[in-house]
Amino acid sequence: MDLPEPTTAVDTKGESDGLSGQASDYGDEEDSSSGYSTDGEYATPPEVTLTSFTETGKDESTIPVLKQRSYTGIGAISSVLADTLCADLGADGVLKELNTALGTSYNLDSVISILDSYIAQNFDFGTAYAYLRPYWNDIRNIEDRLRTQEVEDREMRRNVLTDGRITHRHVRPRRVWDLCANRVVPYWVACRPPWGISHAWVDENERMDVMTSINVCEWPVPMPKDANLGLIRIEMLNTRSNRGLQAEYASLDVLCLRQEGGKNEHLRLDEWKLDVPTIGAVYEGAERVVYYFNGLGRPLDLTPDYFESDRCWFRRAWTLQEMTISPIIAGVTGKDVVDTLVQTRFDQELDLLQRRLESTSILHYVSEMQNRVSTKPLDKVAGLAYPLRPFVIPIYDPKQSPEEAWEVLMDVMGFQYQTQLLFHYPEPGDGKKRWRPSWLQLMSQRIVFPQYHSI
Q: If you average pLDDT over residues 152-159, what whole number do you get? A: 96
Say if residue 47 is exposed, middle or buried (CB neighbours under 10 Å; 0-12, 13-18, 19+).
exposed
Predicted pLDDT at 6? 41
Predicted pLDDT at 41? 53
Integer Cα distance of 50 and 79 in angstroms:
9
Predicted pLDDT at 379? 97
Higher pLDDT, 451 or 201: 201
pLDDT value at 133 more than 90: yes
Contact between residue 42 and residue 105 where contact means Cβ atoms under 8 Å apart: yes
Buried-exposed string 290-308: b where 16+ CB fall within 10 A, e elsewhere: bbbbbbbbbbbebeeebee
Q: If you average pLDDT over residues 320-344, what whole number do you get? A: 89
Within 10 angstroms of residue 70's Cβ, the number of other Cβ atoms is 18
Predicted pLDDT at 336? 63
Secondary structure tally for the chain: helices H, strands E: 17, 13
Integer Cα distance of 290 and 21 in angstroms:
17
Determine which of 26-35, 242-251, 289-298 has the lowest per-residue pLDDT on average: 26-35
Q: If you average pLDDT over residues 401-412, what whole number do you get? A: 96
pLDDT value at 7 more than 70: no
pLDDT value at 13 more than 60: no
- pTM of model > 0.75: yes
pLDDT value at 14 more than 50: no
State the alpha helices, DSSP H only, in 216-285. 229-238, 253-256, 265-275, 280-285
Q: If you average pLDDT over residues 314-340, what whole number do you get? A: 90
pLDDT value at 258 more than 60: yes
Predicted pLDDT at 1? 39
Integer Cα distance of 283 and 22 in angstroms:
9
pLDDT value at 134 more than 60: yes
pLDDT value at 31 more than 80: no
